[in-house]
Amino acid sequence: MKNLKPWLPLIGIGVLALVLLAVAPSVLSMHWINNLGKYCCWAIAAVGIGLAWGRGGMLVMGQGVFFGLGAYSMAMHLTLESAGPDSLPIFMILYDPLAPLPAFWEPFRSDLFTLLAILLLPVIVASILGYALFKSRVKGAYFAILTQALAVALAVLISSTIRETGGDTGLSDFKYFFGFVLSDDGNKLMVYLIAAALLVVCLLVVWQLGRSRFGELLIATRDAEERVRFLGYDPANIKLVAFVVAAVMASIAGAMFVPIVGIITPQEIGASASILMIAGVALGGRASLFGPALGAMAIGWGQSSLGSSWPSGWIYILGLLFILVTLFLPMGLSSLVGKVTGLVWRPRATPTATTPAPEFTAPEFTEVKK
Amino acid sequence: MTVTDGSLVVTDLRVEFDGFVAVGGVSFDAHPGEVRFLIGPNGAGKTTCIDAITGLSKGSGSARLGGQELLGKPAHKIVRLGVGRTFQTASVFDELTVLQNLDIAAGLHRSSLSLLRARRGVDPAIHRALEETGLSRELATPAGILSHGQKQWLEIAMLLVQDAKVLLLDEPVAGMSLDERTATGELLGRVAATRTVLVVEHDMDFMRRFASRVTVLHQGKVLSEGSVAEVQSDPRVQEVYLGTAAAPSVMTIGREDD
Amino acid sequence: MDGLIPPLLNGTAQGALLLLAALGLSLTFGQMGVINMAHGEFLMAGAFIAYLTQQVISSSDLSIPVALPLAFLGAGLLGLLVEVSIIQWMYRRPLDTLLVTVGVSLILQQAALQIFPAQGVPVEKPGWLDGQLAVLGYDWPLRQVFTLVLAALCVAALAGWLKYSSFGRRIRATVQNRDLAETSGVPTRSIDRITFFVGSGLAGVAGVAASLIGGTNSQMGTQYIIPAFLVVVAGGIGQIKGTIIAAWVVGVAMAYFADWTTGSLAQVLAFVLVVVFLQFRPQGLFTVRTRGLT
Amino acid sequence: MLITSRGRVKTLLATGALAATTALILSGCGARAGDTVETTAPAAASCIDTTGDTIKLGFLNSLTGGMAISEKTVSNVLHMAADEINADGGILGKQIEYVQEDGATDWPTFAEKTEKLLTQDCVAAIFGGWTSSSRKAVKPVVEENNGLFFYPVQYEGLEASPNIYYTGATTNQQILPAMDFLASEGVKTLFLAGSDYVFPRTANAIIKLYAAELGIEIVGEEYVPLDKDDWTTQVAKIAEAKPDFVFNTINGSSNVGFIKAYYDAGLTPETTPIISVSIAEEEAPAMGHEVTGNYASWNYFQSLDTPDNATFIDAWKAYPGSSGVTSDPMEAAYISMYLYKALVEKAGSFEVDDVNAAAAEGGVTFDAPEGTVTLDGENHHISKPGHIGKINAENQFDIVWSSDGVIEPDPYLEEYDWFPADVRDALVTSAG
């Protein structure tokens, strides 16, 4: 390696992996390990948002939908596992003890199906949704509002289908995680480590995508979609890939959230939850590699610690963060780091020689006359 | 000229916006080896023609590249058939370097999977295009800080690396200095040796110096066609220009421009 | 009584309330490109102003008519404050306006929670809104008729203002080409401020209407913001007539869905309907025609 | 090609290494489902510190977000109860030192804060929660850490956790008395209106069963999402169905919209009265005069004429930050603190197992504002009187009907034949 610079992100990921997988478990109490696990989940979703929004320009305000797909897939599996074979979950008994398990629950008894669902459901849903939206060139604020509306719609739907989904109280009280007793501290540590490792994997994926030709193309699409079209690419497909990857990450985040936190309700996928996922990304730096993940973790930590000592103050701080970061640091705190250390190269669009092209130059008439 | 695989043949092209006829049955053709100019007063439909050919706006009639009909295809597919274009305002990706810009342009025929890999080394076609356009030294420069002229050249270079058979250039020398214009004109001459080049331009001096053939549009129709000399001496062309603008003021502006 | 009539009329009134909430957005979002997520909280401000007015003028017969202009003014000034302190720096970054205003909305909600009784406050309706109006065999509550009339008045005032005042022409000029308007001597800064003031003020008026229909509390804005945005988007940016039709269609559709299924499913269906509709008309019902080519 | 693929190999290696690490971790630790029973038992002994002259208690209420609307008052009244007890010498001579946490209307936060309170702050008990979702988020955490949680709100029943004490009503103490009242009024037809979530749905399921028993016909059932205020379409249906009574299980500010739409439709308490289970003294003012004349079923009203209630109201009115209004959930929260005091004093210990053992012996009572309440040592609910109040012009409740003495808590409705036995059995087994 002649030049170290291209590998710095990889080294960064390595350091983060070391901290999360080796240092944290030996230093932190179980309570903070659990919290850190929760932050890791938000960070995984944030890494995806960073890809879709920061690099792809799609402000995904409805990541709760995909978070929910993963979370409910996992939660249905864990609920069935806790209920035991051939038994109904408690909340279903309440409404109709004799009715069978709803058909869409049945396959979630299988470990393999659950894992596949967590990965493939978001792919399917995001592909259909993204294809439709991007092909009809829905973008910008439209895209943001529509995705947000879908998150709200899904949350309302789940709240109102109580026998099928558990309604607003959601699914909780999981005893086992793929055969492991969830109340055991060793197993909790394991679940945390899986979440942390998945975060590292997601960072690697985004790092590789970022340095690939696709990454360049994605940024090109973000900055000048029409121009990309006239280079022979269909921008819809490029955006679709980023959107689907972000969706899968949100789904993985949701799936890990369930065993770590122990409850999933429609509220975790609705409007404000989806917006809170954005908050960390904006704070950390939407277009940077580490910004979204670290930002999400910072927001999580703020909620845990500041939210404890000064609840209403935390809301004001969160609100101010949204305002001040967007106003003064649109590329997040990571851009500050970049400015200070020069590690992150950020071109400024300051043309050296600008001759503004007049709308209409020399009229043709004079030429003809000569 | 004979029609080849690289020829652009436009027949009875019509474009309407809400009943307003922007282009009303335009026919012309352009072939490899010539620098074809499309001129006309404001609102004559020049850019609209290009937009229709490249799929940006909807047109009826026919525009063929070789044997392929272009109209009705999505824009990116038309590009893949070999039709490249530039825009009035230079549009390059400011955040990416010159190399990255060109690499994206060169990549349209790459497989989707190879897109997931990082770029290693530089495509020889990119080197050739850089030399052709004189941008070799700017390889690692972010496109955003190039000069206006350099951005235009980068756009042309992008068309070269994407191996376009037909280059549709919308006011490529607007805002350029005289030297830059000359360089651009010579570049177009070289490019046109193997490709079809169609230029929409207002700059008459530039047209006189570098056009092989000229098509004059007026109110969405072809007014005149031929060599520079033929078009300039066409009385209808003179009439259009005399009739559309007050002579003295136009002359003043014209002189400034010269 | 024909079962099809009540949902039609109730839906129309719901649509009118939605329209009131969306009208200001169609100005700030449609004309200025600002995605104001705090619009719901401006609406809330209007509702609380109605309550405060009632504390001073105890007769609700009088206080509501007085509250309407006050709410317009109050919410408008709140909007102006936000515009001057934050949004004016962000006109070139429309998507980022969404983020800052999310922050504004969080702060306003929490502030309202701490200033006013947490459970919310009562806003009494005027006595002259007691009773019903018999329409097509349905006793249509006067309060709903009032919402409809209020919406109609606001639309008429806004449309007239935009169309006939020199100010309206300037707004339209600024919308179509900000740079050109600026160079032609249109004071775009004051145009921005006044547009945002009026847009936010309309949210205040909507808040008075909302306070008569539902609860007045710190959370009330959240239920209006997404539907209002959907209505503006579905109607077509910058198109008041599109917003009117979209609001009416969404209101009536929700009412019929609620009649046939449940309130929850109605909301889900209405949202999905708008998303699907935008697949086919991504520019909304009406679009401002520009050549958009050169 | 060779050159380009090398980068991928590196990435793959890195991923592989991670996967291997994870696999190691997976195989390394943790109990598996079939292992033994002990693994589910609390891992560590409680860390409650009883050496000093203070005892730590945790309060967990939403002070921000949507539910702060309701939960702030509960938090306040808990503070008042703790202050009172401290002024009176504390519990077992120890002053209460409370740790207030914000649930932030976010159920995972409730779980997180519960764990924090139990394992970081080592509180002896936690008081708070409001929504069923918050309780369900807290439940696994208190059970796993063998903590104590006091829940002060009426709920849908069908639950009994050894680590939770329920001081609000279960269904047979609020819903069923309301139905008894309706039957005594000669109601023949009933319309059910509720928010679309678990409590109303469950309550209505039970109401329907009991209504069949009482010979009351259900003529309609409508739900609207919790955060929606518009009820006009549904109220139009009520107006059309002309029921004798409306059973209202709507929660939150949606009630305001419901009452307004109801009033607008020309429905009045004289013709079509409403009986609510979520409108109390705190909620009623936000509905103005339009709610006047309708009914609510609670176990406590501010208007209850008992000496303990008078003391309670006076204390509350004097308490900083008080609204001056008392309500059922507030009183239940107030009870929860004193009930805990009584339990600890009976056990002579703050240890959870000792407290639970003291409860199991039975006979723990408290002279509450609503009257003397007795803790059921088995299901951890308390006996309560049922009252029906009619809302007057001051948004207070005139008591028009009361149950025959206190009602014993029966969360699984075991004493009621009409409740399907198979459901009950299945539930009890699942709960386990």
Q: Please identify, among D350, D374, D398, the residue that sits at the C-terminal boundary of a domain.
A: D374
D179 and D123, same domain (yes or no): no
Which of D331, D351, D374 is the last residue before a domain boundary?
A: D374
pLDDT band at A94 (very low <50, low <70, confident <90, very high): confident
The answer on pLDDT for A215 being more than 80 is: yes
- pLDDT value at position C204? 97
Residue A290: pLDDT band (50, 70, 90) is very high
Query: Does the model's pTM come out above 0.80?
Result: yes
- Region C32-58: mean pLDDT is 94
Q: Give the C-alpha separation, D205 to A169, whole Å.
A: 17
How far apart are alpha carbons D206 and D212 in whole angstroms? Answer: 10
Q: D97: domain range?
A: 43-165+309-374
pLDDT tens sequence across C235-258: 887 778 899 999 999 999 999 998
Q: Indicate whether D193 and D65 sit together in one domain.
A: no
Which pLDDT does position A341 carry in this prediction?
59
Q: Is residue D1 part of a domain?
A: no
In a domain, D401, yes or no: yes
Q: What is the pLDDT of residue C2?
A: 57
Nearest CB among A29, A95, A262 relative to D141 is that of A262
The structural domain count of chain D equals 2
Question: Is the domain of D353 the same as that of D402?
Answer: no
Q: Locate the chain D residue with the closest alpha carbon to B119.
A: D4
D254 plus D160 within the same structural domain: no
Q: Give the CATH number of the domain where residue D55 resides.
A: 3.40.50.2300
pLDDT at C287 (0 to 100)? 65
The number of beta carbons lying within 10 Å of the beta carbon of residue D269 is 16
How many structural domains does chain C have?
Answer: 1
pLDDT tens for each residue of C124-158: 889 898 888 888 888 888 989 999 999 999 999 99
Mean pLDDT value of segment A134-160? 90
How many whole angstroms separate alpha carbon A257 and alpha carbon D111?
Answer: 12
Range C210-229 average pLDDT: 91
Instruction: Answer whether B169's CB lies under 8 Å from B38's CB.
Output: no
Contact present, A222 and A56 (Cβ < 8 Å): yes
Is residue C236 included in any domain, yes or no?
Answer: no
Contact list in B for residue C287 (CB cut-off 8 A) is: none
CATH superfamily of B1-82+166-174+196-258: P-loop containing nucleotide triphosphate hydrolases (3.40.50.300)
pLDDT along chain D (432 residues), means of 10: 39 50 53 52 65 94 86 93 96 95 90 93 95 90 94 91 95 95 95 90 90 95 86 90 95 89 91 94 88 95 94 94 90 96 95 95 93 94 96 94 95 91 77 58
- One domain for residues D313 and D415: no
Flag whether D29 is in a domain. Answer: no
**CATH 3.40.50.300 segments of chain B:** 1-82+166-174+196-258
Do D406 and D267 lie in one domain? The reply is: yes
Residue of D nearest to C219 (CA): D66
Q: With CB atoms and an 8 Å threshold, state whether C289 touches B18.
A: yes
- D139 and D245 both lie in a single domain: no
pLDDT at residue A358, as a whole number: 32
Q: Say yes or no to pLDDT of A193 above 80.
A: yes
Residue B94 has pLDDT above 80, yes or no: yes
- Co-location of D293 and D411 in the same domain: yes
**Measured between CB atoms, does A229 come within 8 Å of chain C?**
no
Give one DSSP letter per residue of C11-59, joined into a string: HHHHHHHHHHHHHHHIIIIIIT----TTHHHHHHHHHHHHHHHHHHS--
Tell me the mean pLDDT in the region B241-247: 49
Q: State pLDDT tens for residues D103-140.
A: 988 888 999 999 999 999 999 999 999 988 899 899 99
Please tell me which of the candidates A156, A184, A189 has its beta carbon nearest to residue D225. A156
What number is the average pLDDT over the span A62-75?
96
Q: Residue D306's Cα: distance from chain center in Å? A: 24
CB contact under 8 A, C293 and B47: yes
In a domain, C24, yes or no: yes
In this prediction, residue A367 carries a pLDDT of 30
Query: Which structural domain, as residue segments, surrounds residue C168?
Result: 19-221
- pLDDT category, A157, cuts 50, 70, 90? very high
Considering only the C-alpha atoms of chain C, give the largest distance between any 2 of them, rounded to a whole number of Å: 61
Read off the pLDDT of residues B184-229 as tens digits, 9 standing for 90 and up.
Answer: 999 999 999 889 999 998 788 888 889 989 999 988 889 888 888 8
Could you tell me the pLDDT band of residue A85, with boundaries at 50, 70 and 90? Answer: confident
**DSSP calls for D185-234:** TT--EEEEEEESSHHHHHHHHHHHHHHHHHTPEEEEEEEE-TT----HHH
The tokens describing B140, both together, are: 């690692």
Please report the pLDDT score of residue D87 as a whole number.
96
Q: What is the pLDDT of residue A2?
A: 55
Best mutation target, B117, B122, B123, to test chain D (most D CBs within 10 A): B117
C105–A319 C-beta distance less than 8 A:
yes
Averaged pLDDT, B62-89: 89
Residue D24, in any domain of the structure:
no
Domain identity same for D329 and D421: no
Among D374, D396, D423, residue at a domain's last position: D374
Pair A80, A36: CB distance under 8 Å: no
Same domain, D144 and D289: no
Of the candidates C119, C121, C223, the beta carbon closest to that of D229 is on C223
